Amino acid sequence: MAPLIILIRHGEALHKQCKALAEKLESSFDFAPEQCRIVVSPLRRTLQTVQCGLQWLRNRGVPTEVRAEWQETTDKPCDIGDDPEVIKHEWPDFDFSTLDPVYPQKTGLYENSEEAFKRRASFAKQWLFERPEKCIIVVTHSGFLRRLINGPKYENVEYRTYELVKEEDDLKLNEIDRYVFDQA
């Protein structure tokens, strides 16, 4: 059975937004740590969001895996990450072992094209579908989220919960719940 998927857009005003994210998720989270995994884009704003907003899960032993397919879609400087050797030293308690060696190059699966976004979204959903965990929390970016779910834009630290189902020859994320934080 495919895991429950919680997709989170990274935060901007990290302290306030991540505190609200942590409080909301922790109050309703009922999975054992060994049933979960956190997956995160290798860009700083997503790594910071995990560190600030999901540290309570990490403290319980939930592993955090950095994966390139969850990076942002554009090839603007703000959406191209740093060399993995640099970020590995800044984030030593994150697992970079499965980070695609092509990262941070925006080529192939990661190029800035709608065709590549579709391939990457399909790859990401298939990876999620094959995971043994019961719950996977993904911290990623608005541009990629829009392509992944073919839906409306996420707000900062908004999260939505999905069931991943196989429909004919495709995998679809069916929304179960969503939470948008008061941005005021």
For 130-181, what is each residue's pLDDT tens digit? Answer: 999 999 999 999 999 999 998 888 999 999 999 999 988 889 999 999 998 7
Mean of the pLDDT values across residues 117-141?
A: 97
CB contact at 8 A, 49 and 157? yes
Q: How far is Cα 72 from Cα 68, in angstroms, rounded to an integer?
A: 9
- Is 21:53 a contact under the CB 8 Å cutoff? yes
Could you tell me the residue ranges of all domains in the chain?
Answer: 9-26+41-179
Q: What is the mean pLDDT of residues 106-110?
A: 95
pLDDT confidence band for 13 (50 / 70 / 90): low
54-70 pLDDT tens trace: 999 999 999 999 999 99
Q: Give every CB contact of residue 172 below 8 A, 6+ residues apart in sequence.
A: 164, 165, 166
Give the mean model confidence (pLDDT) for residues 114-129.
Answer: 96
- Give all strands (DSSP E) within 27-158, no chain letters: 36-40, 64-66, 135-140
